[in-house]
Chains A and B, each alone.
Chain A
Amino acid sequence: MRFTISAAKPEDCKDIERMIMELAVYENMPDQVKISHKELERDGFGPNPFYHCLVAEVPEEHKSKDGNTTVGYVIFFYTYSTWKGRTVYMEDLYVMPEFRGNGIGKALLGAVAKEAKDQLCSRLQFSVLDWNKPSLDFYMAKGAEDLTAKEGWHFLRFHGMALDNLAQEAP
């Protein structure tokens, strides 16, 4: 099946919002999605974007059951390791189920790998839920390492009330 991978444009944000929700439903956390295409537009485009996004598109004759031609996306941004320097962090990678098996996921990941190489990044990091076997298999086949298992890293966060409380005690 023919498809193209290209940098997302502001007008793609409604499709990206739709697919973000599809991925959140798959991850059993749809109620955690709080932002819409408006924030995505504001935060992803302009002189200082907070994320980068690539979208996968199919021609009109291959559109989805619901009439969509934007069928996959990847969101990533640059982070920094005090050990290794510039790093790419891949936040979301998703292809609509009816378009899987055509190499779209592989192409999106390859495109991010190329950006990483062009920006002199030494590695790509991302996180996966421990029960998500199809994704784990996909990434392990490409040489991914589980750093939570290997080095014991856990993700922690301050959010909501905890963050406000911490900030209110600031000098």
Chain B
Amino acid sequence: MAKFILRKAEPKDVSDILRLIKELAKFEEMEEQVVLTEKELLEDGFGDHPFYHCVVAEVPKDNQSIEGYTVVGFAMYYFTYDPWIGKLLYLEDFYVMKEFRGYGMGSEILKMLSETAVKTRCSGMHFIVAEWNTTSIEFYKRRGASDLSHEEGWRLYEIDKCNLLKMSSK
């Protein structure tokens, strides 16, 4: 099995996208943190000002997954801004179903995204990876990625909704 296509996600893909998001979250041992719904994915990705862009990997019907799925991988990205170097492509999620790995889908998705980044004048492609996820880190480092947390000391911080509301009312 090697045939697959990569294409822009369409509104009809949201239920497959959510399924794959949950599978990836399960792998990252954070499945209970996914509160996003199909309705939000639809509104936020396919309106006048989308918050994200998405590509999906699809196999022919005769190669469908054990449970009967033909959408077997996805990548979600959006554009961010670095005041030092300008526009960036930020890779939010990137996942291929386990039974479809080893056929080059991951590599093809990454290459397609990097081409999008170059075409749209982005200075770089950024993303985060959990430090225990050595398989993914190796995958990226083999292709020339650098670890800014390790090299420059950047740490990711978050202020949650409750504290945001406190700050916005002062």
Q: Which residues of A does B touch, CB under 8 Å?
A: 16, 20, 24, 29, 32-35, 39-40, 43-44, 48, 50-51, 75, 77-86, 89, 91-92, 106, 109-110, 113-114, 116-117, 121-131, 139, 142-149, 151-167, 169-171
Q: How far is the CA of A160 from the CA of B118 in the complex (A)?
A: 10
The DSSP consensus for interface residues of chain B is mixed
Q: Are A167 and B83 in contact (CB under 8 A)?
A: no
B131 and chain A: residue at smallest CB distance: A152
Q: Is B157 an interface position by the 8 A CB rule?
A: yes
* CB < 8 Å A-B pair total: 249
What are 18 residue pairs bridging A and B, where the CB atoms are less than 8 Å apart in the complex? A32-B85, A35-B85, A50-B80, A79-B80, A79-B90, A83-B35, A84-B33, A84-B35, A89-B80, A91-B83, A128-B155, A153-B129, A156-B129, A157-B146, A163-B117, A166-B114, A166-B144, A171-B108
Q: Which residues of B does A touch, CB under 8 Å?
A: 21, 24-25, 30, 33-36, 40, 44, 49, 51-52, 76, 78-87, 90, 92-93, 108, 110-112, 114-115, 117-118, 122-132, 137, 140, 143-150, 152-168, 170
Q: Which residues of A contact B160 (CB under 8 A)?
A: 122-123, 143, 145
Q: Are A91 and B82 in contact (CB under 8 A)?
A: yes
Q: Are A144 and B157 in contact (CB under 8 A)?
A: yes
Q: Are A122 and B161 in contact (CB under 8 A)?
A: yes
Q: Which residues of B contact A145 (CB under 8 A)?
A: 157-160
Q: Are A158 and B124 in contact (CB under 8 A)?
A: yes
Q: Are A167 and B115 in contact (CB under 8 A)?
A: yes
Q: Are B157 and A147 in contact (CB under 8 A)?
A: yes
Q: Are B81 and A75 in contact (CB under 8 A)?
A: yes
Minimum CB–CB distance for A113 against chain B, Å: 4
Q: Are A20 and B111 in contact (CB under 8 A)?
A: no
Q: Which residues of A contact B52 (CB under 8 A)?
A: 80
Q: How far is the CA of A126 from the CA of B161 in the complex (A)?
A: 14
Q: How far is the CA of A92 from the CA of B108 in the complex (A)?
A: 33
Q: Which residues of A contact B86 (CB under 8 A)?
A: 34-35, 39, 43, 50
Q: Are B168 and A77 in contact (CB under 8 A)?
A: no
Q: How far is the CA of A156 from the CA of B72 in the complex (A)?
A: 25
Minimum CB–CB distance for B43 against chain A, Å: 9
Q: Which residues of A contact B154 (CB under 8 A)?
A: 127-130, 155
Q: Are A167 and B21 in contact (CB under 8 A)?
A: no
Q: Are B166 and A81 in contact (CB under 8 A)?
A: no
B87 and chain A: residue at smallest CB distance: A50
Q: How far is the CA of A161 from the CA of B146 in the complex (A)?
A: 12
Known: A83-B35, A89-B80. A125 touches B114 (CB 8 A): no
Q: Are B158 and A80 in contact (CB under 8 A)?
A: no
Q: Which residues of B contact A109 (CB under 8 A)?
A: 167
Q: Which residues of B contact A169 (CB under 8 A)?
A: 111
Minimum CB–CB distance for B56 against chain A, Å: 13
Q: Are B128 and A33 in contact (CB under 8 A)?
A: no
Q: Which residues of B contact A117 (CB under 8 A)?
A: 164-165, 168
Q: Are B118 and A149 in contact (CB under 8 A)?
A: no
